[in-house]
């Protein structure tokens, strides 16, 4: 029973920042949410999204019971009936057409939901399919792949030691809006200001003068897709001017000569035109990185480009070559209480290309195929055709290339079930929608985010509110679906029911799994062998979290290559460099499209929250004044943006915040109206940027979606 006016503490689960919240509950309802001043990680900071958790919980459009789509609309069904129908139909497709006929897509909210992350693995094991897709191929795969190739583990992810760094060169990142992104930051603006207050500098390279630019000492426009060429020119400078301590580098790395030889082909003068950055500036930026505590940090804008895989490798290489890798003030590895690296190696494998998509032959990475392959795998007849789909916490119609075509492919499936709290652009095609409880009704542990945090800490959040009777959280839905699918795949009769009962009894709770992971971890009590170590009970007893200290050197633990040395020049990257050289020499499109995100949104999730979408329209197309004048575009007027894939009509915002030759549309809009869908989001306006992107145009190594630097035409609408 919750007492009137009781204060509960919570870690926000909406983005990477892990902000601590102080939640006031009165009469069984949340009355106030503010930043927790005593939180060990975020130190009282909270962005507008944290306060919106109350509105998300109370949203009348949020589903409270399973829904079945019928010819007459959506109807509520009991949990047992819905789960049994979903399992029966998934198992039937699997038995009739093979395990790969059932696919699964997981969205990025899974990264902020320990129950969901654990439950997805149980369901994937039960389905046994190779057709696994997730949001990483629109976001983080290039960084994961670089870690795999250079450090020997895809989850050896480097993060800035932001509290001690003196110089930051940032590309394709906007932490003032993202709150970090593969750099869990907590109190972002204060931490970035801290770099400058202690005499450090922050330099931003980006095709847009973003919100982060206001926190930087210097900003330079950088042409979309040219990051790899610029980074090679910086390496060229360092090697040519003998600014690399080769003797010291040999102790940490291999492939030095091959990397230097690759960089020799990319002199700053050769790339200044394609990058838009003068050769003199490229050389200066490179020299500045040789100072102690100087780093390169890059994120999604770089990863989503045509050469994002190459660029992600070169970011890591620059940090190693300049001696700013795995040292205080440099790029370091977190030491989380639960290290997901060993778990991922067991569950997902630390590999690439073990299997490929059926139609185009795109490679898997750590167990998942590129999402750009989903459409053709559903539409192309033959053995292994995807005929059924499970989606969890994702809206791929809005977030993956050629959303309208994907929507048509989803409509043609034999069966689709979605674990999601809303009927949205994707789940409207599902036969069943299984809604989990709200974030305030479940416990929370940032299983993945602690692994990329800029300071080591551990926090666990109890549910703030009791869930309604019979309601299920993500872990319960996914694991129950998993045991039912496993039983029915074996047999539709008595044997299958018996197996289901056995599997259900053997499935531990999410908290039991978490307790075991904490106890086995770096700071754990090792199941009693290390008295005083962490257990879930100890973490639960610290509502503001436990500070585990600054980032520390972790080389032997995180660099799993021979002799513990980083591989600077993996062959897979060297083979791709001629393609980059051809791109540098090729004619450029007159106008290219980039995306953008907003502080008051999280991809497509939060557009049904009135407090977050109020205010000025943030969905327009940013156009440089010169580009607008050449095309007859007037500020505030409708314009038609077109590619060979599709077209959208939006309002223009003429601004010199984008470089000439670049236009920008935000991600996550274009929800559209549908029966039972979110009412505010469906009337919000804006366009789905992925009407314009091409699912057949992918990055050459991983097959990742190319979502930035997309050639477009713009004309008055």
Domain harbouring 697, CATH code: 2.40.40.20
| Torsion, CA 476, CA 481, CA 484, CA 487, rounded to 10 | -110
Q: Is the dihedral of CA 446, 448, 452, 456 positive or negative?
A: positive
What phi, psi does 181 have (nearest 5°)? 65, 105
Q: Residues near 692 by Cβ (< 8 Å), separated by ≥ 6?
A: 593, 641, 642, 643, 645, 646, 647, 648, 665, 710, 712
Residue carrying the six token digits 């620059």? 318
Q: 379 and 256, same structural domain? A: no
H helix runs in 491-535, sequence order: 494-506, 510-520
CB 387 within 8 A of CB 414: yes
Check residue 3 and give its pLDDT: 47
| Residue at 676 is within a domain | yes
H helix runs in 354-469, sequence order: 374-379, 396-399, 403-411
E-state strands within 443-549: 456-458, 546-549
DSSP state of 37: T
| Residue at 682 is within a domain | yes
Q: 109 and 241, same structural domain? A: no
DSSP β-ladder status, 592-594 and 662-664: parallel
Q: 46 and 81, same structural domain? A: no
| Residue at 580 is within a domain | no
Q: 617 and 561, same structural domain? A: no
Q: In this structure, how many other beta carbons lie within 10 angstroms of the beta carbon of residue 122?
A: 22
CB 460 within 8 A of CB 445: yes
DSSP state of 368: B
Q: Quick one: average pLDDT of 513-528?
A: 95
Q: 212 and 116, same structural domain? A: no
Considering only residues 5 and 687, tell me which one the structure prediction assigns the higher pLDDT. 687
Nearest alpha-carbon partner for 374 in 132, 128, 140: 132
How long is the chain? 717
| Residue at 497 is within a domain | yes
CB 693 within 8 A of CB 623: no
pLDDT class for 442, splitting at 50, 70, 90?
A: very high
For residue 369, give the CATH number of its domain: 3.40.50.740
SS3 content of the chain, % helix, strand, coil (to 5): 40, 20, 45
Q: 380 and 445, same structural domain? A: yes
| Residue at 1 is within a domain | no
> In 44-68, which positions are buried (b, 16+ CB within 10 angstroms) versus exposed (e)?
bbbbebbbbbbbbbebebbbebbbb
| Residue at 581 is within a domain | no
State percent of the chain over pLDDT 90.
87
| Residue at 579 is within a domain | no
CB 399 within 8 A of CB 431: no
Q: Total domain count for the chain?
A: 4
Q: Quick one: average pLDDT of 245-264?
A: 97
Q: 349 and 329, same structural domain? A: no
- Edge-to-edge strand list for the sheet holding 6-11: 6-11, 20-26, 29-35
What phi, psi does 412 have (nearest 5°)? -95, 0
| Residue at 276 is within a domain | yes
Q: 198 and 238, same structural domain? A: yes
Q: Reply yes or no on whether the pLDDT at 452 is more than 80.
A: yes
| Predicted model pTM | 0.96
For residue 196, give the CATH number of its domain: 3.40.228.10
Q: Is the dihedral of CA 288, 289, 290, 295 positive or negative?
A: positive
CB 319 within 8 A of CB 330: yes
What pLDDT, in 10s, does the model give residues 294-323?
Answer: 999 999 999 999 999 999 999 999 999 999
| Torsion, CA 448, CA 149, CA 709, CA 599, rounded to 10 | 20
Q: Quick one: average pLDDT of 42-46?
A: 91
Check residue 605 and give its pLDDT: 85
Q: Quick one: average pLDDT of 232-261?
A: 97
Greatest CA span in the chain, whole angstroms? 75
Q: Quick one: average pLDDT of 200-213?
A: 97
Domain that holds residue 134: 67-138+338-547
Q: Reply yes or no on whether the pLDDT at 716 is more than 90.
A: yes
For residue 23, give the CATH number of its domain: 3.30.200.210
- In angstroms, how far is CA 413 from the centroid of its own chain? 27
Q: In this structure, how many other beta carbons lie within 10 angstroms of the beta carbon of residue 570?
A: 18
Q: Quick one: average pLDDT of 321-327?
A: 97
Check residue 492 and give its pLDDT: 67
CB 677 within 8 A of CB 593: no
Q: Reply yes or no on whether the pLDDT at 1 is more than 50.
A: no
Q: Which two tokens stand for residue 496?
A: 């299958």
Q: 134 and 33, same structural domain? A: no
Q: 617 and 567, same structural domain? A: no
Q: 483 and 414, same structural domain? A: yes
Q: 417 and 498, same structural domain? A: yes
- In angstroms, how far is CA 396 from the centroid of its own chain? 13
Q: Quick one: average pLDDT of 572-601?
A: 96
What pLDDT, in 10s, does the model give residues 383-392?
Answer: 999 999 999 9
SS3 206: coil
């Amino acid at each position: 029973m919750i007492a009137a006016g009781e204060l509960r503490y919570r870690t926000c689960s909406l983005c990477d920042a892990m902000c601590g919240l102080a939640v006031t509950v009165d009469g069984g309802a949340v009355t106030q949410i503010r930043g927790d001043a005593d939180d060990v990680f975020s130190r009282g900071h909270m962005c507008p999204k944290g306060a919106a958790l109350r509105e998300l919980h109370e949203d009348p459009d949020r589903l409270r019971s399973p829904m079945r789509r019928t010819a007459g609309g959506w109807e509520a069904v009991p949990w047992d009936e819905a789960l049994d129908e979903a399992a029966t139909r998934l198992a039937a497709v699997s038995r009739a057409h093979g395990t790969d006929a059932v696919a699964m897509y997981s969205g990025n909210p899974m990264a902020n939901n320990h129950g969901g992350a654990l439950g997805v693995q149980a369901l994937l094991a039960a389905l046994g399919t190779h057709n696994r897709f997730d949001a990483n191929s629109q976001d983080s795969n290039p960084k994961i792949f670089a870690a795999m190739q250079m450090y020997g583990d895809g989850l050896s992810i480097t993060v800035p030691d932001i509290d001690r760094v003196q110089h930051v060169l940032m590309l394709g990142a906007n932490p003032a809006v993202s709150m970090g992104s593969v750099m869990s930051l907590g109190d972002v603006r204060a931490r970035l200001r801290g770099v400058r207050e202690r005499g450090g500098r922050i330099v931003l390279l980006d095709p847009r003068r973003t919100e982060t630019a206001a926190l930087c000492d210097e900003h330079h426009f950088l042409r979309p897709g040219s990051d790899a060429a610029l980074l090679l020119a910086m390496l060229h400078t360092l090697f040519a001017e003998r600014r690399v301590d080769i003797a010291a580098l040999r102790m940490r790395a291999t492939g030095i000569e091959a990397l230097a030889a690759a960089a020799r082909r990319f002199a700053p003068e050769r790339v200044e035109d394609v990058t838009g950055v003068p050769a003199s500036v490229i050389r200066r930026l490179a020299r500045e990185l040789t100072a102690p505590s100087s780093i390169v940090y890059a994120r999604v804008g770089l990863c989503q480009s045509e050469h994002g895989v190459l660029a992600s490798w070169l970011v890591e290489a620059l940090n190693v070559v300049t001696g700013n890798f795995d040292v205080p003030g440099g790029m370091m590895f977190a030491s989380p209480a639960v290290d997901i690296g060993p778990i991922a190696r067991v569950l997902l494998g630390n590999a690439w290309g073990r299997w490929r998509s059926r139609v185009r032959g795109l490679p898997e990475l750590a167990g998942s195929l590129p999402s750009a392959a989903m459409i053709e795998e559903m539409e192309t007849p033959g053995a292994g055709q995807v005929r059924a789909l499970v989606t969890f916490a994702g809206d791929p119609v809005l977030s993956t290339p050629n959303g309208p075509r994907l929507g048509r492919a989803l409509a043609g499936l034999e069966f689709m079930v979605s674990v999601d709290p809303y009927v949205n652009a994707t789940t409207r095609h599902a036969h069943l929608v299984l809604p989990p409880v709200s974030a305030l009704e479940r416990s929370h542990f940032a299983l993945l985010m602690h692994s990329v945090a800029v300071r080591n800490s551990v926090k666990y959040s109890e549910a703030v509110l009791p869930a309604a009777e019979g309601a299920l959280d993500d872990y319960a839905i996914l694991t129950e679906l998993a045991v039912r699918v496993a039983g029915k795949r074996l047999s539709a009769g008595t044997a299958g029911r018996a197996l289901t009962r056995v599997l259900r009894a053997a499935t531990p709770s999410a908290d039991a799994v978490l307790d075991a992971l904490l106890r086995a971890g770096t700071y754990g009590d090792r199941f009693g062998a290390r008295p005083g170590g962490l257990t879930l009970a100890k973490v639960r007893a610290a509502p503001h979290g436990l500070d585990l200290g600054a980032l520390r050197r972790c080389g032997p633990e995180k660099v799993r290559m021979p002799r513990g040395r980083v591989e600077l020049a993996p062959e897979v990257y060297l083979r791709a460099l001629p393609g980059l050289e051809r791109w540098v020499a090729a004619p450029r499109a007159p106008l290219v499209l980039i995306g953008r995100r907003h502080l008051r949104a999280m991809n497509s999730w939060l557009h049904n929250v009135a407090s977050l979408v109020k205010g000025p329209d943030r969905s327009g197309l940013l156009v440089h004044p010169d580009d607008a004048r050449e095309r007859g575009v007037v500020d505030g007027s409708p314009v038609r943006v077109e590619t060979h894939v599709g077209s959208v009509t939006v309002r223009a915002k003429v601004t010199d915040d984008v470089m000439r030759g670049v236009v920008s549309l935000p991600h996550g809009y274009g929800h559209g109206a549908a029966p039972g869908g979110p009412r505010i989001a469906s009337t919000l306006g804006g366009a789905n940027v992925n009407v314009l992107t091409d699912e057949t145009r992918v990055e050459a190594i991983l097959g990742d979606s190319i979502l930035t630097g997309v050639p477009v035409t713009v004309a008055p609408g």
